[in-house]
């Protein structure tokens, strides 16, 4: 089916950006089915792209290809092969047996996320188009990876915007426990000579923050002989690395008791000194204020909060939250202390994030330097035509 754009609304497609919003489309006589393949045409009926259609989303069409070519199983096979080959080129498997194989728009398959944990694949289908082709994707992934099990974690809130219900469970494989709906236990992955238990069935995202792989290693390299505060620690990725790097002490803070329990398990799994490690359950904002009032201090603080601003619409509120925690962190740092601070919010770009951190330092009354910029690992590539794929921003700052 053809979708005609309004005059002048083809500019984003000519720049090869893969999204078309509802306001760019001329009125339709008949609306395509959810996830159906449509041709996007300019107002004068020139072919622009072939895309999936989403009747419920403001992002009404997501481009599969800018070429006049069939969208079928072999089309997606080539996309999946190319994505896997790129990860092989950058030798991610040499550092970890947990890797993101497919990263949605950045790999030319909007809405599809696939993470590999050892011999298991965890799949997220987040859009109408990826849902339409999900069974095909599952077949291809088994063929192209040699894995035998795919667990689905299509339970993100964004599915609601696509008119889709959450869906989790065994998608492919003969695991008796998973097929009967019995809660899955964690699986163990390896990363830079460390081990982590990952709860793929109910943890955040697909169970682990694979995008922080290189940044965890950087914290390990910087943590020697330091008292470290790891905020929003989740299952202890940064905490484990800090202890492995020779930290004097590590305090892991999170609001989830289950995450903290897994954090402690991961410390023990790596035979790290438990006497140097403490966990504290609670609201990070409140606890940072409490530490300030108690005149506590640290040599290194890691701030890896959840997504405060999913879109630019939420940026103003998120700015206050980011500034608050970073201001408190600067106050808690000792002289020459290191702040490793992140934002994974798509609505806060790198320039705004740096401005927020500068404002936090100013209001805290401290002088600080940026010594490193951090980003997501290379198995989370960013298409030059889709800058929204660069969601993870990080700064390493030193308090003077």
What span, in angstroms and rounded, lies between the C-alpha atoms of 96 and 152?
Answer: 21
- Which residues lie across from 302 on neighbouring strands? 230, 340
247 & 346 share domain: yes
198 domain-assigned: no
Domain containing residue 10: 2-65
Residue 87, domain CATH: 3.30.750.80
25 & 84 share domain: no
Residue with tokens 């398990």, as numbered in its chain:
265
170 & 235 share domain: no
Residue 56, domain CATH: 2.30.130.10
**The pLDDT value given to residue 183:** 58
265 domain-assigned: yes
> Which residues of the chain fall short of a pLDDT of 50?
none
213 & 297 share domain: yes
Catalytically active residues, by annotation = 344
What span, in angstroms and rounded, lies between the C-alpha atoms of 380 and 393?
Answer: 13
**The pLDDT value given to residue 185:** 77
In the chain, how many domains are there? Answer: 3
């Amino acid at each position: 089916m053809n979708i005609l754009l309004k005059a002048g609304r083809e500019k984003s497609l000519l720049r090869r950006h893969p999204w078309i919003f509802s306001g760019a489309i001329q009125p339709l006589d008949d609306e395509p089915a959810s996830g159906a393949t449509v041709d996007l045409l300019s107002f004068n009926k020139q072919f622009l792209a072939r895309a999936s259609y989403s009747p419920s989303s403001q992002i009404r069409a997501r481009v599969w290809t800018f070429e006049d070519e069939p969208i079928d199983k072999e089309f997606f096979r080539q996309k999946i092969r190319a994505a896997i080959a790129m990860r092989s080129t950058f030798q991610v498997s040499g550092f970890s047996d947990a890797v993101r194989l497919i990263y949605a728009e950045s790999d030319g398959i909007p809405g599809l996320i696939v993470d590999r944990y050892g011999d298991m694949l965890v799949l997220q289908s987040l859009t109408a188009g990826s849902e339409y082709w999900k069974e095909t994707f599952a077949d291809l992934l088994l063929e192209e990876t040699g894995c035998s099990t795919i667990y689905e974690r299509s339970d993100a809130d964004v599915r609601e915007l696509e008119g889709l219900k959450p869906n989790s469970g065994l998608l492919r494989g003969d695991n008796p426990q998973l097929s009967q709906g019995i809660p899955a236990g964690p699986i163990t992955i390896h990363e830079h000579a460390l081990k982590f238990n990952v709860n793929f069935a109910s943890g955040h995202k697909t169970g682990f923050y694979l995008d922080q792989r290189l940044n965890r290693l950087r914290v390990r390299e910087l943590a020697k002989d330091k008292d470290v505060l790891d905020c929003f620690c989740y299952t202890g990725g940064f905490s484990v690395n800090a202890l492995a790097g020779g930290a004097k002490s590590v305090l892991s803070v999170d609001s989830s008791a289950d995450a903290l329990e897994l954090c402690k398990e991961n410390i023990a799994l790596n035979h790290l000194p438990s006497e140097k490690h403490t966990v504290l359950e609670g609201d990070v904002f409140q606890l940072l204020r409490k530490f300030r009032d108690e005149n506590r201090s640290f040599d290194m603080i890691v701030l890896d909060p959840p997504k405060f601003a999913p879109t630019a619409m939420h940026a103003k509120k998120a700015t206050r939250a980011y500034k608050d925690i970073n201001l408190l962190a600067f106050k808690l740092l000792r002289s020459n202390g290191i702040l490793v601070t992140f934002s994974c919010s798509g609505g806060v770009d790198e320039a705004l994030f740096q401005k927020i951190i500068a404002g936090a330092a100013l209001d805290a009354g401290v002088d600080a330097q940026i010594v490193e910029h951090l980003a997501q690992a290379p198995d989370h590539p960013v298409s030059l035509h889709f800058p929204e794929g660069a969601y993870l921003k990080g700064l390493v700052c030193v308090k003077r």
